[in-house]
Amino acid sequence: MFNFVLEFNNSIMELNEKQMQILEVAEKLFAENGFDGTSVRQISKEADVNVAMISYYFGSKEKMLDALINYRMADFKIQLESILSNDKNYSEKIEEIVAFVVARIHKNRRTHKIVNFEYSKDSRNINIEKYLQQKDDNYRVIEAFVKKGQKEGVFSKEVNIPLIVPTIMGTYFHFYYNKRFYTALHKLTDEISLDEFVNTTLTKHIQQTIKALLIYAN
């Protein structure tokens, strides 16, 4: 019996297996139908638990969303730094960073989608500290890397560093949100070939883009 210990709301929240099972179902349904488009009865039915368990375990539907986001972002330790500390050249390092980021957001795409949609709402009062912290951490690592490359004369100094990550993640998500259109364009069919497409073609495109931008921008 292994529980998932989670720092949350300045206190520690332990998630047992049943809670995690509920969150998995909630993640799927929120990503498919939106937060407001998903009822707690749907979640409880699909997770095979009583409706009251959601309030019992998480307090409310909204607090369950908080728990989900923090649960998914909790293990976002900066593996970037280990990539940047190896002895590859700058071009190879860019490729590794992009491949890592794309694989990561693809794996957590459902929660990212929920955050993207709910985050900008005035009405929603979600606790996205962990998400913002991770975003900031990632940015600082990228910033240091690019500035180092600029100092060594490998990277162009004309690049807008804060907008590099939006280009990486934005390309992925715009593809993902419009996958029905783009998979038709690429003649892809099932979910497996989507994974493959992301890991090969899409990743390669973003790698090319960022390499060209960092090296040749003017």
Partner DNA sequence: AAATAAACTAAACAAACGTTTAATTTAAAC
Partner DNA sequence: GTTTAAATTAAACGTTTGTTTAGTTTATTT
Name the amino acid, one letter, at 188: L
Residues that bind a second copy (CB under 8 A): 32-37, 116-117, 119-124, 132, 135-136, 139, 158-160, 162-163, 166-167, 169-175, 177-182, 185-186, 201-202, 204-206, 208-209, 211-213, 215-218
Here the tokens at position 33 are 């139908």
Task: Locate 2 and state its tokens.
Answer: 């292994």
Nearer to a second copy, 78 or 132 (CB): 132
Which one of DNA, a second copy, none interacts with residue 9, CB within 5 to 8 A by kind?
Answer: none
Helix (H, G, I), strand (E, B) or coil at 86: coil
Structure tokens at 87: 């002895």
- Per DSSP, 162 falls in state G
Question: Would you call 121 helix, strand, or coil by DSSP?
Answer: coil
Q: Which amino acid is at 38?
A: T
Nearer to DNA, 43 or 198 (CB): 43
How far is CA 218 from each of CA 146, 148, 159, rounded to the nearest angstrom? Answer: 15, 18, 8
**Is 154 a residue that touches DNA (CB under 7 A)?**
no
Helix axes 109-119 and 17-33, enclosed angle (nearest 10): 60
Least distance from C-beta 43 to DNA, angstroms?
8
Nearer to a second copy, 13 or 161 (CB): 161
**CA-angle at 131, arms to 167 and 169, nearest 5°:** 15
- Residue 67 binds DNA, judged by CB under 7 A: no
Backbone angles phi, psi at 37, to 5 degrees: -85, 0
Q: CB under 5 to 8 A by kind: which of a second copy, DNA, none does 6 bind?
A: none
Element (H, E) at 90: helix 90-107
The option from a second copy, DNA, none interacting with 166 (CB < 5 to 8 A, set by class) reads: a second copy
Binding mask 20-59 for DNA (x = CB under 7 A): ------------------xxxxx------xxxxxxxx---
Return the one option of DNA, a second copy, none that residue 12 interacts with (CB less than 5 to 8 A, by type).
none
Which of 21, 134 has the CB closer to DNA?
A: 21
| Contacts with DNA, residue ranges (CB under 7 A) | 16, 18, 38-42, 49-56, 60-62
